[in-house]
Structure 1
Amino acid sequence: MESTATPPRHRPASGQSQPRPDAPPYRVDRLSEERAREGWMEEVLADDRTLYLPLRPGQGALGVESLATDRALQMVERSVLPAGEPTLHVYLGRVEDLSTSPAAGRHVVAIVHPGAVWGQWKDAGHDGGARWAGLRALAPVLEAAEAELLTQATAIAAWHAGHTHCPRCGAPTTVVQSGWVRLCPQDSSQHFPRTDPAIIVSVIDDQDRILLGANARWGGQRYSTLAGFVEPGETLEAAVIREVGEEAGIVVSEPAYVSSQSWPFPASIMLAFTARATQTSVRPDGEEIIALRWFTRAELAAAVRAGDVTPPTPLSVARHLIENWYGSSLPEPQASPATDGAGPPVAGR
């Protein structure tokens, strides 16, 4: 049993490679200084090697969809783009040379047209048989650089869609700096994309158990780590302590940063922490969190195998926190004899 003074162990899940300490934590160079330079976007658009990522207004929380095949983004060259001025284009960056994406070593620009324009383009056979889908559906299957491109494109396109007018005077704004700033022509104010910080925390007790909660929106079977938005004027550590206190009714200590994950639903970044519980008598708030459970490793593994507990998706930072504590990848649920792993239970069997 670990002492409460000992920081929680952050063991990488088995089979997961660790990044080199000298490697950049990204695969797309956003060239932020270059993209702010006057004339930069024109140079990129004139480059025949530049690729374009088609986006359109879509369904769901973000209202943005991208064109993709089953395993990759459908990026296209300028020669096959629809005629006419797009609603928006945004410079995303240059993909690293070592990427396995066809975009390796090339500039990529996100380009937004209304759905009707893309429909005509698709009817002309320029889509290569790809489909329209959102970030949630595509991110798990994409190559790393392409997942990074789509996350960035989705976030910035969603921001543009919701910030078309100046918040000071209400005048329509214009897009400048390669799609990364909106300028008000009336008062000359500049407006930048927003990112809302949110903390997410694995709470560990003196018996090395982890605390997981069921959110009211999930129906009671999916359990995850606790999370919440950082409030104005609040430190990240204070947000960890406050959110756990509000959602679980306990005090935690020693908040320790682990990692982060972009979460553009619509404009957040998840900042992952661990913390030590100073007590174990928990109380769900009854509004956001409807159930709380302490798990040993054996208890969590058994619950997941039996299908009694559904963990967060493998790509989420919540899953990363849980598997850091667990010490390896979580087990897969065992198939029900009534389904043979193929579908819902068959009536009468």
Structure 2
Amino acid sequence: MTTTTSRPLAIAAEGLRKAYGDKTVLDGIDLAVPTGTVFSLLGPNGAGKTTAVQILSTLVTADAGDLRVGGHDLAVDPQAVRAAIGVTGQFSAVDGLITGEENMLLVADLHHLSRREGRRTTAALLERFDLVAAAKKPAVTYSGGMRRRLDIAMTLVGDPRIIFLDEPTTGLDPRSRHTMWGIIRELVADGVTVFLTTQYLEEADELADRIAVLDDGRIAAQGSADELKRIVPGGHVRLRFADRSAYRSAAVALREVTADDEALTLRIPSDGSQRELRSLLDWLDSAGIEADQLTVHTPDLDDVFFVLTDGADKPAEAVR
């Protein structure tokens, strides 16, 4: 992923709080999303993901927090925020009784585009999302993937630079999901910022520059996918040897290894960091021991998700 530290923030939230009666949904969370990146908010059902999207997209008012989207204060100028963003919710906004083209033109009217500009924008987006052949057909006849593509095309009519995608691929088949991933990557390549919530951990791993795990209204951890994977126990380096004497020498010299005498492999606990790998390689080199194969194994986002959200003891230091 690209380095994001020097980019201005498209979305910034400090101390975001929201409660419904005695139920606290968001308990003072902080979020920072650099411009032109994908930020993914993960969490179990009911964790508050959709509420966060609704607040940051001005659909719901926060109880507290300093919130800025596109450089605008949500509390002071929500209209300016609305002009800068697009939102695709969990449930399609497509009207199935009219055609795809008519759905697009209706949104163009809502954005006060002229008739000529509305038709030009509609034609361009229908082509971009491979919907030209179906443009004159009622949207009710579209597949799930086509409806989702049309949904996002409608979101882009106003040329927003910040897009909220709330579980955009839920219910789609694998091919349609991969198509949607390609669309998201193209948007980001054009400089658009994407705030993504998803139930698919593979999706966040594939797309997100930065991920936050939301649990019980609080951020349990956040960082890049690789950073999050390193905070969960279970990472290791696996050394495989072709030479039995080299294997034995390494097994005797290295501490805290799990040895497999039959496969001539050693498993060494590691967080997979460059520093640890360099140290191990330097040691092998200085000892004159050559491993036939070295592989790094780190926990995946499934492991991270379950550790951070299952009520078990959380890692001592979550990535921030």
TM range (shorter): under 0.3
TM-score normalised per structure 1 = 0.25
Considering fraction of residues, name the structure with more helix: 2
TM-score normalised per structure 2 = 0.26
